[in-house]
């Protein structure tokens, strides 16, 4: 019997069934946003290509929100994970050579990391980091930066993409959050050394931690002023407040040494996830040995870091292979050059079409932002984005075979599977879409 080609009805049927049994029809609200430019159900992915249930193919710039740095279905990473699966996926007892090897790699590569605890997601990593910091200081308050995202838990889900009229407030992102967590969160504008100094001066003895993405990519890309990072490092050290770098997006994507390795400013605790495992659920909190040792489980040390699946073997095997591949092939040099060419090409197109907009980014990440010019330094600098224009752009690009999240505050990612051909095809499509904007 001949294969029947998939029909649009098949896509709609999956989407309709999803809406019956899954809130919003997708895992997480942000994933449901893929519906913004038309309902869509994906079925497979390889290299830089995403394929839908109706066999439509897209070049993928979303890459699962960023983790898939080597490309989808990467042979070596998957073979490593498969070998771990063959040996049993979970022991949940004692240690394993594999977790020691991955922990040793993190200690070797990330300048500030002396010890490591594994977990499964970026949110778990930031949760554990804050708990470690609260235990070490005996303090409650956490300072974070306006607009930025560090995970879904109550400790940090405050002032995440606040609307214009709520900027500067402790704005809870979700209903159902514990008010005590919200009240114990302080908010400052990113890149403002004076604001940081003032807050540390006023609240230093009440602060448990300062948490930041050293390059905030949860809001596109805010490049840090070096004096801001240095001030933060100095002021937190003076007040003995642990400084947490959330390198969930940047770690292993921008450099095997993290942004901390790029800028030479080192935190006390570091969270890594996403690119660490090329898409497998693996994450870690690492940092100063005295802070991590609190979770040692002996009677002297009282911090509980727990999780049945923490250190699950396929994830760790994927992490070891991903790290080794990145380091051996200098993947970041390739991605930085490719990223520069996407950014240059897009900037030229904005100019050619006389469109008010800007391209922001770093290495393998870029964001296309309409209705704004100049370099953004903090969340307020991206508040004027022309969201409607971005949605039109995303829809036009999708029609031409290029997929990225239609959220104007998010970003494109590149992987080692993207190349010259993808670049040319993307820029040709952007040229055509810009002409109609």
Q: Which position among 58, 127, 149, 280 bears the catalytic label?
A: 149
| Minimum CB distance to ligand PMP smaller for 219 or for 429 | 219
Q: Which position among 154, 157, 192, 246 bears the catalytic label?
A: 246
Closest distance of CB 312 from ligand PMP, Å: 14
Question: What residue spans of 176-298 are helical by DSSP H?
Answer: 179-183, 193-203, 226-238, 258-263, 289-292
* Cα–Cα distance, 45 to 49 (Å, whole number): 6
Q: Which position among 274, 280, 342, 410 bears the catalytic label?
A: 274
| Minimum CB distance to ligand PMP smaller for 28 or for 301 | 28
Closest distance of CB 29 from ligand PMP, Å: 12
Residues 6+ apart with CB under 8 A from 127: 151, 153, 155
* Cα–Cα distance, 25 to 19 (Å, whole number): 4
Annotation says 274 is catalytic: yes
Residues at the site binding ligand PMP, with contacts judged by CB under 6 A: 65, 121-123, 126, 149-151, 213, 218, 246, 248-249, 273
Instruction: State the residue number with the nearest CB to ligand PMP.
Output: 122
Number of H helices, E strands in the chain: 14, 14
* Cα–Cα distance, 237 to 248 (Å, whole number): 23
| Minimum CB distance to ligand PMP smaller for 379 or for 426 | 379
Annotation says 386 is catalytic: no
**Pairing relationship of beta strands 115-119 and 269-272 according to DSSP bridges:** unpaired
* Cα–Cα distance, 39 to 11 (Å, whole number): 8
| Minimum CB distance to ligand PMP smaller for 147 or for 396 | 147
In angstroms, what CA-CA distances link 162 with 166, 217, 375? 6, 16, 20
Closest distance of CB 151 from ligand PMP, Å: 4
Closest distance of CB 125 from ligand PMP, Å: 7
Closest distance of CB 407 from ligand PMP, Å: 11
First to last CA, the chain: 46
In angstroms, what CA-CA distances link 190 with 112, 215, 372? 22, 10, 18
| Minimum CB distance to ligand PMP smaller for 247 or for 321 | 247
Annotation says 60 is catalytic: no
Would you please indicate which residues are annotated as catalytic (active-site) residues? Answer: 149, 246, 274
């Amino acid at each position: 019997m001949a294969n029947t080609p998939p029909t649009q009805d098949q896509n709609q049927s999956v989407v309709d069934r999803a809406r019956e049994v899954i809130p919003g029809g997708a895992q997480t609200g942000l994933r449901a946003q893929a519906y913004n430019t038309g309902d869509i159900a994906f079925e497979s992915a390889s290299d830089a290509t995403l394929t839908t249930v109706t066999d439509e193919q897209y070049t993928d710039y979303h890459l699962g929100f960023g983790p898939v740095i080597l490309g989808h279905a990467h042979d070596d990473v998957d073979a490593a994970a498969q070998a771990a699966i063959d040996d049993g996926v979970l022991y949940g007892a004692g240690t394993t050579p594999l977790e020691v090897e991955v922990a040793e790699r993190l200690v070797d590569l990330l300048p500030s990391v002396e010890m490591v605890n594994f977990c499964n997601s970026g949110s778990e990593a930031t949760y554990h980091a804050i708990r470690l910091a609260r235990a070490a200081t005996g303090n409650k308050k956490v300072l974070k930066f306006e607009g930025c995202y560090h995970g879904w838990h109550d400790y940090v889900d405050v002032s995440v993409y606040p609307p214009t009229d709520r900027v500067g407030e402790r704005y809870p992102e979700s209903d159902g959050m514990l008010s005590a967590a919200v009240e114990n969160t302080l908010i400052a504008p990113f890149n403002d050394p004076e604001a940081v100094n003032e807050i540390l001066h006023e609240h230093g003895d009440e602060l448990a931690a300062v948490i930041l993405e050293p390059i905030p990519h949860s809001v596109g890309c805010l490049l840090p002023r070096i004096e801001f990072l240095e001030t933060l490092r100095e002021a937190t050290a003076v007040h003995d407040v642990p400084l947490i770098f959330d390198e969930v997006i940047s770690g292993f994507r921008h450099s095997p040494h993290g942004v901390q390795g790029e800028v030479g400013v080192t935190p006390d605790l570091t969270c890594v996830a996403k690119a660490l495992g090329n898409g497998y659920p693996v994450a870690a909190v690492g940092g100063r040995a005295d802070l991590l040792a609190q979770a040692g489980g002996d009677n002297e040390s009282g911090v509980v870091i727990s999780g049945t699946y923490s250190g699950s073997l396929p994830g760790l095997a994927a992490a070891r292979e991903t790290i080794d591949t990145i380091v051996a092939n200098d993947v970041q040099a390739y991605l930085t050059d490719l990223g520069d060419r996407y950014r240059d090409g897009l900037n030229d197109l904005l100019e050619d079409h006389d469109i008010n907009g800007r391209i922001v980014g770093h290495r393998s990440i870029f964001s296309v932002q309409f209705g704004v010019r100049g370099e953004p330094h903090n969340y307020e600098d991206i508040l004027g984005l022309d969201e409607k224009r971005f949605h039109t752009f995303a829809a036009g690009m999708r029609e031409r075979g290029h997929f990225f999240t239609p959220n104007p505050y998010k970003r494109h990612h590149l992987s080692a599977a993207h190349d010259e051909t993808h670049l040319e095809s993307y820029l040709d499509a952007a040229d055509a879409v810009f002409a109609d904007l």
